[in-house]
Every structure is written in C-alpha cells, then in structure tokens.
C-alpha cells in the first residue's frame, strides 16, 4: 500500500482526496489493462485513522469472508464475483506469501506468481479454475497445503454456480464493471458522492496570468474540446478597463494543439483535442476571456471566463527548488500601484492534504527587477512536497490568486 500511495502522490490536493485518486486508479487500471469502463463518482473523504481490515487474510475460514463482505454490502454471490474480478490482475508476492512464492533475485520484479498467468483484464481467472488448469496459488496451494487456498474456498462456496456464469467474457466484464464500481463507491454514511462524472464538452484548465521577462503579462491556459473536428479556434479577451481591446483586436490563435489519446477515452469512443495558449497580452491586465470555435462563441454560458483579480499573482518561472535545503523559493508578483501590508502563502503537503497551521510571509525581492507593472516578493518555504494558497492584504482587503489548479511545485 505504501508503494501505491507513492505512485499517487502527485495527484491529491486539498480539493481532491487521496481516496478519490485511488478510486480513479481503479478505473484507469481496469480499462488500461483491457477491462470495462467503470462509472466514476467523486467526493470521498480521507480517513484520519485506520479502520478495521476490509479484506480477510487467506488463512481465514469461508464464514469470515462471507461476513466481511456482507458488512460492506455484498452478497455471497457478489463476493465470489468481486474476488474473481480483483484477481484477474496481479498475483501472489513473496513478501506477503513466503511459503507460496520463493524470493527473487530482484525485489518486486521476479518474486510474483500471477493469479491466472496473463497480465490482461480477462476472465482467464475463471476459465482456468473451471477447467482445472489454474496455477493460482490461492486455489492450488503449495505442496499439498491448502491452508492459504482462500480463492478455492470462495469460488467453490456455491457449488461453482457463480464461476460458471462468469465463463462468458461479456458477463465477466459487465459483472466486474458493476461490482468494482460498487466497491469504490462504498463510503461512510456521512459521505455523499457526486453523480457519475462525464467528460465536459468544453474544459478550460491551467489558467495562469503572470509577468513575463519582456514587459508583457503572459496568459497561459489550455482548452480541451471533446470533439476534435474544429477547424479554427481563437482566444479573445477583454482588458480590465475595457479600452485597449475595444476594437476587438485582443485575440490569439493556439500556440499548438494535440489529440489526447488514452485507453479510457478510446473505450468511450472519444479522441479530444487540447489547445495550448501562451499569449503576451501587453502590460494591461484582463478581466475576462472567451473562445470562438468555427464561428461559434464559447463564453462559459454567457459570462465569459472571469479573471477575478490581478493584484497578486504567482510567478512560476521565478520560483525554484532550493537545492539541498528541502525547501522551495516561492515568488509572487504584486501590482506596483498596490501597497500591500502583507504578502503570504499558506502551504500544505500534497501527501497529506492537511493545511498547515502556519503561513509564510513573502518580502520584497530586489533581485527580480520590476516588469509588466509588477514587483516581486519571495520567501523560502520548507518542505519537499507541498502546494499553497497565495494572499495579499491591500488597503484592508484580502486578495487571493484565483483561477488556478492548486499551485504545487515539483521542480
């Protein structure tokens, strides 16, 4: 489990829980290994302390398995299906089962015995069990010892009726989609999950307004269209005082575009296109932006995509890892016509998603010359894996940078 947490460490933040990311990992791993698409919901809440074990150990009797799955809302038939669906991938590792699998020369590389001998999400776990060719060590045991043959006890617990029904690849796939979906949707009573999440037809992400080095503000963002048939895409924006762009001249074409291809999108019959924009917009900030797609206006339902404030901005190009210090130098840009009484960040760890009970003040940094109408403030923030929120207090009002994917630094 610790290795799985490390694999997911880049993705949780204070808006998306570790448990949501783990559930998404189930969805992606299943389809990327050739399995069905599992409908996905969000909204899980990470536990603060460990709960009771959710899976019995292989040496426990069948009754313990049935009762454990019952407590999680699964019948005996569903327990059989869920174990089969779970064991179509992976296998038995030496560190967990040293009496079944001998140690390998290279840890975690050749000391595993696959449940069904195939790396794909298929129903070989079922067909090999039924025709007696299985090498699943949790069925056949080792040296005649069936103490750890938990799959055998589970699979045969209803006279193989359920396993025989899963011999159909189509039945296996549909059953697994349902049961694995219910598994990841099993949450405490006080947690309410979202509706099933479908891809948005239009998605804007990575919006970042920041001073460049040439006197211009730079607007970076991506536009993802679920359809890839658009012939012409144009970004438009309005400056904050509505004068510079009054002629409609404030527009730009994409810097580049790419087709997004993943197994999940392919399984859904989709091949979206992502358009990347990195646009110098002069030294006058903007209030809103929108798009024109083959002559049709996409403006977020009528209001445009709003840039809420430009008083304080994160400057990613000037921020950096402090080598050898387990810290980051975070640089913020503050408009020269502002007189901040405080500029600070509130950091928190991405690995725990817990906001730290402290803030770190940024001070004026003369090593960065003023540009694009902004001066720069910086501070070293300790931590090897963090994200943060950025604030400035100006004339008694608190400004926070908006339209951001939670800022994290991983240089």
- Under CATH, what is the fold of the domain 312-409? Immunoglobulin-like (2.60.40)
How far apart CA 113 and CA 148 sit, in angstroms, is 14
| pLDDT confidence bin for 187, thresholds 50/70/90 | very high
Position 2 scores a pLDDT of 61
- Going by their DSSP bridges, the two strands 286-293 and 256-259 should be labelled as unpaired
Q: Is the pLDDT of residue 274 over 90?
A: yes
| pLDDT confidence bin for 243, thresholds 50/70/90 | low
Burial of 43 (0-12, 13-18, 19+ CB in 10 A): middle
In this prediction, residues 260-284 reach a mean pLDDT of 92
> Looking at domain 2-184, which of 3.90.1170.50, 3.40.50.620, 3.40.50.150, 1.10.420.10 is its CATH number?
1.10.420.10
| pLDDT confidence bin for 405, thresholds 50/70/90 | very low
How far apart CA 385 and CA 373 sit, in angstroms, is 31
Reported CATH class of domain 202-306: mainly beta
Domain chopping of the chain, boundaries: 2-184, 202-306, 312-409
The reply to whether 312-409 shares the fold of 202-306 is yes
pLDDT tens-place string over residues 295-349: 999 999 998 999 888 999 999 999 988 887 788 899 999 999 989 999 999 887 6
pTM of this structure? 0.84
| pLDDT confidence bin for 406, thresholds 50/70/90 | very low
- CA of 354: how far to CAs of 15, 20, 160, 280, in Å? 11, 15, 47, 36
Q: Is the pLDDT of residue 107 over 60?
A: no
């Amino acid at each position: 489990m610790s290795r799985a947490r490390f694999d997911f460490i880049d993705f949780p933040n204070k808006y998306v829980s570790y448990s949501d990311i783990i559930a998404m990992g189930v969805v992606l791993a299943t389809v990327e290994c050739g399995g069905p698409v599992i409908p996905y919901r969000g909204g899980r809440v990470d536990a603060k302390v460990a709960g009771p074990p959710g899976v019995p150990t292989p040496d426990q009797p069948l009754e313990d398995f049935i009762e454990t799955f019952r407590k999680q809302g699964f019948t005996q038939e569903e327990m059989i299906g869920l174990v089969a669906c779970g064991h179509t991938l992976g296998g038995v590792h030496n560190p967990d089962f040293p009496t079944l699998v001998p140690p390998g020369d290279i840890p975690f590389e050749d000391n595993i015995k696959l449940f069904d001998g195939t790396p794909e999400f298929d129903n070989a776990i079922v067909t090999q069990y039924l025709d007696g060719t299985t090498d699943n060590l949790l069925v056949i045991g080792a040296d005649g010892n069936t103490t750890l043959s938990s799959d055998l006890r589970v699979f045969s617990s209803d006279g193989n009726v359920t396993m025989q029904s899963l011999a159909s690849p189509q039945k296996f796939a549909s059953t697994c989609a349902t049961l694995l979906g219910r598994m990841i949707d099993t949450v405490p009573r006080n947690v309410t999950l979202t509706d099933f999440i479908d891809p948005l037809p239009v998605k804007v992400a990575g919006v970042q307004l920041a001073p460049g080095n040439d006197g211009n503000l730079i607007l970076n963002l991506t536009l993802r269209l679920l359809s890839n048939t658009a012939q012409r895409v144009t970004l438009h924006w309005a400056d904050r005082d509505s004068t510079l762009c009054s002629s409609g001249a404030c527009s730009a074409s994409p810097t580049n575009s790419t087709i997004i291809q993943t197994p999940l999108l392919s399984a859904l019959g989709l091949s979206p296109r992502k358009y990347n924009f990195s646009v110098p917009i002069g030294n006058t900030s903007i209030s809103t932006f929108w798009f024109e797609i083959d002559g049709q206006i996409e403006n977020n339902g009528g209001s445009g995509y709003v840039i809420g404030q430009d008083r304080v901005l994160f400057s990613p190009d000037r921020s950096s890892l402090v080598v050898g210090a387990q810290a980051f130098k975070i640089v913020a840009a503050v408009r020269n016509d502002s007189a901040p009484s405080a500029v600070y960040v509130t950091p928190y760890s991405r690995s725990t998603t817990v906001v730290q009970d402290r803030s770190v003040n940024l001070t004026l940094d003369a090593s960065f010359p003023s540009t694009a109408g902004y001066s720069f403030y910086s501070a070293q923030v300790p931590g090897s894996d963090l994200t943060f929120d950025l604030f400035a207090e100006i004339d008694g009002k608190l400004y926070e940078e908006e339209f951001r994917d939670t800022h994290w630094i991983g240089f």
